[in-house]
Chain A
Amino acid sequence: MITDKETPMIQAQEIHKSFGDLKVLNGISFNVTRGEVIAIIGPSGSGKSTLLRCLNFLEEHDNGEILIDGDPLGYSLNENKTRVRQSENEIANLRSNIGMVFQSFNLFPHRSVRDNITMAPISVKKINKNEANKSAEILLEKVGLLDKIDEFPSHLSGGQQQRVAIARALAMEPKVMLFDEVTSALDPELVGEVLYSIKQLAEEGMTMVIVTHEMQFAKDVSNRLLFMDSGKIIEEGSPQVLLQNPNSKRLKDFLHRFRSSFV
């Protein structure tokens, strides 16, 4: 769908999700405008990862609607206003416009860095090999890993693998990037290089949703902060305000626990 600049890049309306008896998302609604960077924080079990994974339909929302750049994701409404599940091809198509970076990198170990980055553009977007290779080189240059282009993932450090994962997601020229606790699995000294790459992306105007534990980073890079607990958005607002002057008790407790672990 060709939308104007006014249409939010992401619209989530009344999202509910359960795993069996466990209710994980309890009526989540929020919008993300073009170029905005949202950080989602919250205790484990709050549903923040599940919410992120619903945004590219890796988890299927039970109720509610998700629209990416105006297009419904996962389910469409037919004339009778009933939910109809989209076809696999429709979903794959939508996903190719949404980039995701995972906590465990999920690089393909059996292919080189170059192939990891070019595989999807070639097989999904049908871009020709030479163009794909050129783009791969540009992207790797951007994350500072051009010299590793013909290496295999197992030869790279965690931080390097994650940056390749970012380049791989960017190779599909997504409209929005999702980051799922991308530094949680990294050794502390490798976290900085990854956060730097993400910050660069933000400065270039990419729309991003970042689930993270790095409070300082959330403050630095995001325009808006969402605090989640027990499947609901408890507080929402500018990161400076929320982190300095939390309103709700739950956010106060969460931040307190966080800060005390740094004492």
Chain B
Amino acid sequence: MEIFIEFFGISFIQSQLPRFWNGFQLTIAIAAASMIGAVIWGLLLVGPRMSGVKTIVLPLMIYVEFVRNTPLILQIYLSYFGLPLIGLPLSAFLCGVIAIASQHGAFLCEIFRAGIEAVSKQQWEGALALGMTKRKAKYNVILPQAFLKVVPPIGNQLVILIKDTSLVSAIGIMELTLSGKMVIERSGASFEVFLFIAALYLLLTTAFGLIIRFFEIHLRKRE
């Protein structure tokens, strides 16, 4: 094992660094774009989801349940193979981002909803009794409190999103995972390449986790 690492490992990996670096950047790009898309999608969904109007709520519930119980890879394939067929020949990158954002957006919608429902009914009463309209009460009292509650679960969900970006390797996007695969296939390198890839992902998820933690602590300071 040590012989492998000495011979192929570090010096070889060094020679391939540019490839890995490009892959790493692309992974971050996909993750960032998907996170923004997912948050926006989740926010767009949560309003109608909580509207109480059965004809709107029911389809949304079905959509969310369907998305949560089917593999993301299929949604990525559907996006990549299907969108061109309906007149949207988007790049693989966009197809991947759309698929990831829509799945994670559905999850985030449920997280937002749970956060809002977790704010006690009594907060509503306190606000309404002061003469606030439902709208004012929602924006000044309820949503700020819901926001504090949802930060940890959203953080977890986004870490999963970072890991899910590896799936777009299946549609040819040269992000970190596919970069690793290419290097092994083309230069007959050994598996340590994937150890290196794995380490980079671990770095990404850990760093992101720490950022969320700091954010949480900073928000808590105000209470």
Kindly identify, within residues 84 to 128 of chain A, every residue whose CB is under 8 Å from any CB belonging to chain B.
Answer: 88-89, 92-93, 95-100, 102, 104, 106-110, 119-120, 123-125
Kindly identify, within residues 186 to 221 of chain B, every residue whose CB is under 8 Å from any CB belonging to chain A.
Answer: none
**A119 and chain B: residue at smallest CB distance:** B140
Chain A residues positioned under 8 Å from B128 (CB to CB): 58, 92, 95
**B145 and chain A: residue at smallest CB distance:** A110
Report Cα–Cα, A4/B202, bound state, in Å.
74
- State whether the Cβ of A152 lies closer than 8 Å to any Cβ in chain B: yes
Chain A residues positioned under 8 Å from B222 (CB to CB): 110, 152
Between B126, B133, B148, the greatest number of chain A beta carbons within 10 A of the residue's beta carbon is seen for B126
- State whether the Cβ of B144 lies closer than 8 Å to any Cβ in chain A: yes
Minimum CB–CB distance from A222 to chain B (whole Å) comes to 22
Report if A95-B129 is in contact (Cβ < 8 Å); known contacts: A109-B145, A110-B222, A152-B223.
Answer: yes
Report Cα–Cα, A96/B133, bound state, in Å.
10
Kindly identify, within residues 126 to 183 of chain B, every residue whose CB is under 8 Å from any CB belonging to chain A.
Answer: 126-134, 136, 140-141, 144-145, 148
Q: Which of B125, B141, B148, B223 contacts A58 (CB 8 A)?
A: B125
**A152 and chain B: residue at smallest CB distance:** B223
Report Cα–Cα, A123/B130, bound state, in Å.
10
Report if A106-B131 is in contact (Cβ < 8 Å); known contacts: A123-B136, A123-B140, A124-B136.
Answer: no
- State whether the Cβ of B16 lies closer than 8 Å to any Cβ in chain A: no
Q: Quick check: A110 and B131 within 8 Å, CB to CB?
A: no
Q: Quick check: A120 and B148 within 8 Å, CB to CB?
A: no
Minimum CB–CB distance from A156 to chain B (whole Å) comes to 13
Report Cα–Cα, A196/B125, bound state, in Å.
25
Q: Quick check: B125 and A106 within 8 Å, CB to CB?
A: yes
Residue interface bits A217-238, CB-to-B below 8 A is 1, else 0:
0000000000000000000000
- State whether the Cβ of B123 lies closer than 8 Å to any Cβ in chain A: yes
Chain A residues positioned under 8 Å from B148 (CB to CB): 110
Chain B residues positioned under 8 Å from A120 (CB to CB): 127, 130-132
Chain B residues positioned under 8 Å from A93 (CB to CB): 131
Q: Quick check: A100 and B129 within 8 Å, CB to CB?
A: yes
Minimum CB–CB distance from B146 to chain A (whole Å) comes to 10
Report Cα–Cα, A34/B105, bound state, in Å.
55
Q: Quick check: B145 and A106 within 8 Å, CB to CB?
A: no
Given contacts A92-B128, A99-B129, A100-B129, 14 further A-B contacts (CB under 8 A): A88-B134, A92-B132, A92-B133, A97-B131, A102-B122, A108-B126, A109-B223, A110-B145, A110-B222, A123-B132, A124-B131, A168-B130, A172-B130, A172-B131
Question: Which residue numbers of A lie inside 8 Å of B, CB to CB?
Answer: 56, 58, 88-89, 92-93, 95-100, 102, 104, 106-110, 119-120, 123-125, 152, 154, 168-169, 172
In the A-B complex, the 3 residue pairs with the closest CB atoms? A96-B131, A106-B126, A120-B130
- Interchain Cβ contacts under 8 Å between A and B, 16 examples: A58-B128, A58-B129, A88-B134, A95-B131, A102-B122, A102-B126, A102-B129, A106-B122, A106-B125, A108-B123, A108-B141, A120-B130, A123-B136, A124-B131, A124-B136, A172-B130
